[in-house]
Amino acid sequence: MNRELQSYVSVSEEKLCTSELRSWWDSLKGVVDTLQTAWDRLTLHRQQLSQERQICTTREGLFRHNEQLLRQHQAYEVSLQLEEQAPCPVCSSLDHPQLAQSSVGRHCA
Q: What is the pLDDT of residues 59-84, one digit of tens each?
A: 999 999 999 999 999 999 999 988 88
Q: What pTM did the predictor assign?
A: 0.55
Phi and psi at 67, nearest 5°, equal: -65, -40
Residue type, 31: V
Looking at per-residue confidence, does 88 or 10 come out higher?
Answer: 88
For residue 78, what is the enclosing H or E element? Answer: helix 3-81
Residues 86 and 94: beta-carbon distance below 8 Å: yes
